[in-house]
Amino acid sequence: MNRRNFYFLLAGLLLIFQVDAFPQKQKPKNESWYDEKPLHFGFTLGMNLMDFNITPADSLKAPDFLNPEVSKLNPGINIQIVTNLRINSHADLRFLPGVSFGQRNIRYYKNKSGTGTNNGNPEMEIYNERQRLESSFLEFPLIFKYKGERLNNVRPYVIGGLNYRYDLAGKKEYDDEKAVYLRLKRSDLYYEAGAGLDFYLPYFKLSVEIKMSNGLRDVIVHDPAPGYPQFVNAIEKVKSQIWILSFHFE
């Protein structure tokens, strides 16, 4: 996990668990009959930020190397069905099949030959317009949820689990009509971790949750586009990373 991701997750955890830091006055508790059921259902709406962890190829140490980087993060959406199996009063096992949509943009930078900055690092210039890689995932997360003590009508929790995603937008061949010279593998397995708050409302439970999802495999297809081998050759491996803000209605 890089420093940016660490700070983002830390801020989310502090925000979620600050409810534990201060004593709260006792208030009437809304009924939570759905929490006592062995099995209950719901749905999820969410937003995501899809990212890549890119490892450049070792061969790019020449003066004219290309350096690939994710240039900008674009918000996407998630829609899921919640199936919640109660293990005990503090633990649930959850299956949340659904779909998610988003994109990643990779821009390539090229060393300005013969130039450099004051600290010895090469100056970089943009090599081309961004490579926009769209994803439409079918996803099948299996999540373990551990819940803290209920405080009036709020209850904090943490989650962890695995998520298999299949990218319907992954292409078998390059599209000659689009200037996109990278392809993504369709399937990947992710590990996920996060935290959230359950809000017990009069007629249902609303959960607000933030989680990080990290892919385990290299998702770049290392078969270069005809006439444009430099885009694939500049990359050793790429692993997917997704940040997700979810709103569960149960």
Interatomic CA distance for residues 66 and 39, integer angstroms: 53
All structural domains of the chain, each given as residue ranges with its CATH number in brackets, are: 3-17+38-249 (2.40.160.20)
Contacts of 62 (CB under 8 A, 6+ apart): none
Q: What is the pLDDT of residue 32?
A: 79
Is residue 12 within 8 Å of 196, Cβ to Cβ?
no
Low-confidence spans in the chain with pLDDT less than 50:
1-3, 6-7, 17, 19-24, 60, 62-63, 114-120
Q: What is the pLDDT of residue 183?
A: 92
Interatomic CA distance for residues 32 and 220, integer angstroms: 46
Q: What is the pLDDT of residue 230?
A: 86
Q: What is the pLDDT of residue 160?
A: 98
Q: What is the pLDDT of residue 33?
A: 81
> What sign does the dihedral 38-39-42-47 (CA atoms) show?
positive
- Of residues 183, 164, 165, the one with CA closest to residue 235: 183
- Of residues 73, 26, 76, the one with CA closest to residue 47: 76
Q: What is the pLDDT of residue 115?
A: 45
Q: What is the pLDDT of residue 1?
A: 47
Q: What is the pLDDT of residue 8?
A: 53
pTM above 0.85, yes or no: no
In this prediction, what percent of the chain has a pLDDT beyond 70?
A: 79
> What sign does the dihedral 90-96-213-70 (CA atoms) show?
negative
Residue 171: Cβ within 10 Å count: 16
Interatomic CA distance for residues 237 and 249, integer angstroms: 38
Q: What is the pLDDT of residue 113?
A: 52
Q: What is the pLDDT of residue 71?
A: 83
Is residue 238 within 8 Å of 34, Cβ to Cβ?
no
Q: Following CA atoms 158, 162, 167, 172 in sequence, which dihedral angle do they give, to the nearest 10 degrees? A: 150
Q: What is the pLDDT of residue 47?
A: 97
pLDDT tens digit sequence for 98-140: 999 999 999 888 765 544 444 445 555 666 667 899 999 999 9
